[in-house]
Every structure is written in C-alpha cells, then in structure tokens.
Chains A and B, each alone.
Chain A
Amino acid sequence: MNENSEYILETRNLNLYYGNFLAVADVNIKIRRHQITAIIGPSGCGKSTLLRAFNRMNELVPTARTEGEILFNNENIYDPSIDPVEVRRRIGMVFQKPNPFPKSIYENIAWGLRINGFRGSKSELDDLVEKALRDAALWDEVKDKLDQSGLSLSGGQQQRLCIARTIAVRPEVILMDEPASALDPIATLRIEELMQELKKNYTIIIVTHNMQQAARVSDYTAMMMLRNHEDRSGTVIEFDRTEVIFTNPRDKRTQDYVTGRFG
C-alpha cells in the first residue's frame, strides 16, 4: 500500500449491474488524492450507482453485482478478503437528504467513534466531538445545545452535522451524493466552502446535478452519459480537469451538456 501516491482510488473495467441490467459500464478512472472530483451527467446515467460502488454501498441493493476492480491505495476493495465494513469506515459518505440520527447532536458524532473502537475518557470523546463539529463549521452554532436532537437543526445544519459525523471517524475519502440539492442557496454555499476546507485532509468525490456547482467546487470532473440508447448503460465519457471539461472538452456530447445544449 502506498499512502502517498498521487491517486487514491482507481477503477479498472468496472461494470455495475442491477440484476441483468448493466447500469454502469466499463469505467476506468483514477481519483487524485486531496482533490475534489465531481461526477456530472444527465439523470439516470448511473452517477449515484458509480459513487456508491466506491464504498460498497451498492451491495445493500439485493440484486446489485459488481465486475472489475476498484483499487483503494492500490488494494482491490472488492477482493473477497476485504470486509465492506472496513471499506466504509475508510471511505465515508454524505447523502442527498440530510439523515442525522434522531439522537442528540453529541451522540450523532460520538456513536461512529464508539463503534469504531474509541475507548478513551469522556473528555477525550468531548474533544473529538468538538473537533469534528469545528471541522464541519458547525461548532459555533451548536456548542450550547449538544444534547438537543439532531433533528431539531435546520436542513443546512443537519447536512453539516452529517458531514461532521462522517469526518469524526477520519475516513480518507468522503463520497457526497448531491449533498446540497435539498438545501437553500445560502446553506449550499456554506457546504461548498466547507468542501474547500475539507479538501486539505480528505479526498472528496461529489455527484451533482448542478453544473455551476461542479465548476465552482471541483478540481476534476467525470462526465457520465448513456453509452447508447439500446442498452441504457451509463459510462464515463470524459474525465479531465474541471476547467478543461467546462471550457474545452474533447467530446462533443460533453460540450453540448455543459453548455446546456443537451437533449
């Protein structure tokens, strides 16, 4: 394992199926460490499916099946010897709709630490909870009400709580599935600013429908689209630096999509 190589994740001939339906076909991309990679593309082209393959959340769909490899620090996470629980601890996820636990704000963060083997004192736990909340730019808003339910927060705060919960267990990668699509523009902006902060310590992969958002926040962009209209399988048609994708794409379909001339 080389923790310092330029690429943290790499997909090799990745095919993702639901039953017999090939949802995502033949993806070969390399994700750079400490960069934000956006996955964009029209609805139904398999963006979320691809994202969920990176921490084996796809397997929770009973019919889902994976072919090919995803190398995480050069180790195949789909190797039979790898436990998906271990993968998910190191590759965390933030969901589209904020989903805090209906527990206190404090417990929302402490729980992940405890199940991942935290055995320290109460004050050490307090420190870790505070650090996670600070890193998620939420501490100042909630420090006086840590015992209140996570559900009592606003949508944007809830989403930052979910981010705090995720980074508390110190994953290496954070997967974000349209993390701001349920939020208002101001809350969205805060999440985007937060991502720029988090990038220093984490690698982020974000699925977004919002092309301005992809252009604003990401360093690299993967453009996904259906291969053809017969098999309805999505694939990555172009993967490059974000400014290239948005200003000078090689693929005509990418150009049509990012300039809004698609469909």
Chain B
Amino acid sequence: MTAITSSLRDITFEQQLAQRQRRGKILEIAALIAILLGIAMLLTLLVDVVIDGLPWLRPQLFTEFPSRFPEKSGLRSAIQGSIWLMVFTSIMVIPIGVGAGIYLEEFAPRNRLTEFIEINIANLAGVPSIIYGLLGLGLFVRGLGLGRSLIAGALTMTLLVLPIIIVTTREAIRAVPRSIRLAALALGASQWETARDHVLVYSMPAILTGVILAMSRAIGETAPLITIGALTYIAFDLRGPLDIFTVLPIQIFNWVSLPQKGFHDLAAAGIIVLLVLLLSMNALAIWLRNRLFIRW
C-alpha cells in the first residue's frame, strides 16, 4: 500500500475494501460460532453420558440379562440381538443391494422404466424408518407368519437399508472411469467379465464403505423394530433366527423410561456401548476409504 504514490490512491476503493474485509471477518466468526455450538452440544452429551454411565461399564453389563434390579441388569440379550440382526441383515442386503446397483449401473437399458425405478429407489432412501416398521409388521410378522422373530427384524432392516446400499453401490461403480470399461471390452471381454473383474473389483472398497455406513445406521434404528414388536425384556440367550429378540437401542429406550435412577445410569452405559460400536464402524469405513481406494 505504502508504495503507491498518493496521486494514484483511490480513496473510495480503499474505504470499501476495509468494509469488505470487515464483512468477511464477521461471517468467518459467525461460522466459527456455529461449529463450536455443534461441538459443544455433542461434548455436553458425551460428558454427561460418560459421567453417568462410566461406573456401570463393568463386566456384568455384557454378561447379565436385563433384570428388575439395576445392579443385576446387563445388555447380554441386546448385544446378541444387535449382532445377529446385523449378521442376518448383511447376508440378505449385500447380495441384493450390490446386485441391484450393478444391474442398474452396468446392464439396465436406459429407458423410462429404469428411470422410474431409479427415482423410486432414491426416494425410498429418504422414507422415515417407521414406515418400514409398519411394512415389516404387515408383510413379515403377520403376512409370512414369522412373528416377532429376529428374522422378521432382519428382513425389515434389509428393506430399510437396501435403498441406501443400492445408491452407494451405484455411486461407487460410477466412479470407475469409462475408459477402464472400454479397455476391457476392446480386449474381447463380455460385459459381465468387465463388470466382474474390473468395475466391481475397483469399486469394492467404496461399496464396502457404503455397506458399513448403512449398517451403522441400521444398528442404531429403534422405531421399525419397536413397530414389529421386538421385546425389551429378554432374559435368555438367542436360540435361532425364529426366536424373539431385542437390540441395544430398544434396551436403552426401555431403561430410560423406567423410574429408578439406577436404570438411567445403566442406559447411559448402554449409550456408551452403542456409541463405541458406531464410531468403530465409521472408523473402519474411513480406514477402508483411505487405504484401499484407487486414485485414478
């Protein structure tokens, strides 16, 4: 600035410049406050939960069934339910979701019907989960007569995460450059060979990431499982897919709704378990993304 001789100085411009920079600064501070607010709320929640729940994070929490007495209560049946629910849901949703994604992206003819299906899948991903609960109740619990079983819950969860998996699979597949497909086809590969040995292989890390994130959503879902009648008081080990079951968030919900203070703290401990589970799944997804993704 000082190097500019006074005869060349543009006073109006300089005044405006100062004002423009001030305005930028104000917005910057506003944005900073916004992020701090978000972090502060999250931290408050975490600190509060940890203070209440930490003393209850003891072996019995994992080995005991729920009970009338907080000291004797644990998450044994809920953890079993959550894990098996994830296992059965994964077994069903991964082949169907990834298969549907591959079909839509690599093989489906570009026509009105495909477009219609695509729009609907995108919309399904945004449908409130309780709707899937009602569908599961009508279709699996009553229609197929599966009752309030683990398999009915897994089928409901499959419906819930299927659109998410299809959408993430398609995005992962679309990230594989067209030039790779052309290279394979030009060697005399069929479309299926191209999809199997190249497109699917190179998009697999991204697909896996999507699957893990979808599953971490499913593990926290409560509403659809309550709708299909997953129980809160299960005092025995899971015996099979047709058995009744409960899951972590339902158990937590149940404890919170009880009057005794002990159960509230127990619920806080349950929240810690659920959070650790969710964060590890997300961390795994991030690790996969950083380690295995191909940089084109």
Contact = CB atoms under 8 A, between A and B. Distances in A.
A89 B189 CA distance: 8
A90 B110 CA distance: 29
Contact of B193 (A62, A115, A162, A169): A115
A111 interface: yes
Contacts of A55: 186
Contact of B182 (A57, A115, A116): A57
Given A101-B198, A102-B202, A102-B294, A112 B188 contact: yes
B188 A85 contact: yes
Interface string A244-263: 00000000000000000000
B26 interface: no
Contacts of B177: 99
A46 B183 CA distance: 21
A116 B183 contact: no
Given A62-B110, A102-B294, A95 B179 contact: yes
B188 A115 contact: yes
B197 interface: yes
A160 interface: no
Contacts of B202: 102
Contacts of B187: 88-89, 92, 111-112, 115-116, 165-166, 169
A99 B188 contact: no
Contacts of B67: none
Interface string A87-110: 011101101010111100000000
Contacts of A92: 186-188
Contacts of A151: 294
A162 B110 CA distance: 30
B115 to A, nearest CB: 13
Interface majority SS (helix, strand, loop, mixed), chain B: helix
Contacts of B198: 101
A86 interface: yes
Nearest to A83: B190
A88 B188 contact: yes
A173 B284 CA distance: 47
B185 A162 contact: no
A161 to B, nearest CB: 11
A89 to B, nearest CB: 3
A88 B185 contact: yes
Interface in B172-203: 177, 179-180, 182-190, 193, 197-198, 202
Contacts of B182: 57, 60, 93, 95, 99
B188 A57 contact: no
A88 B193 CA distance: 14
Residue in B187, B189, B193 with the greatest tally of chain A CB atoms within 10 Å: B187
Given A62-B110, A111-B197, A115-B193, A101 B180 contact: yes
A60 B189 CA distance: 13
Nearest to B194: A115
Interface string A156-198: 0000001001100100000000000000000000000000000
A172 B182 CA distance: 19
B257 to A, nearest CB: 52
A97 B183 CA distance: 11
Nearest to A88: B188
Contacts of B180: 99, 101-102
Interface in A45-84: 55, 57, 60, 62
B202 to A, nearest CB: 6
B181 to A, nearest CB: 8
Contacts of B185: 57, 60, 88
Nearest to A162: B183
A41 B189 CA distance: 31
B188 A166 contact: no
A100 B197 CA distance: 14
A165 B180 CA distance: 13
A169 B183 CA distance: 13
A78 to B, nearest CB: 17
Interface of A: 55, 57, 60, 62, 85-86, 88-90, 92-93, 95, 97, 99-102, 111-112, 115-116, 151, 162, 165-166, 169
Given A57-B182, A89-B187, 17 more contacts: A55-B186, A57-B185, A60-B185, A62-B110, A85-B188, A86-B188, A92-B186, A92-B187, A93-B186, A95-B179, A95-B183, A95-B186, A99-B180, A101-B180, A116-B188, A166-B186, A169-B187
Interface of B: 110, 177, 179-180, 182-190, 193, 197-198, 202, 294, 296
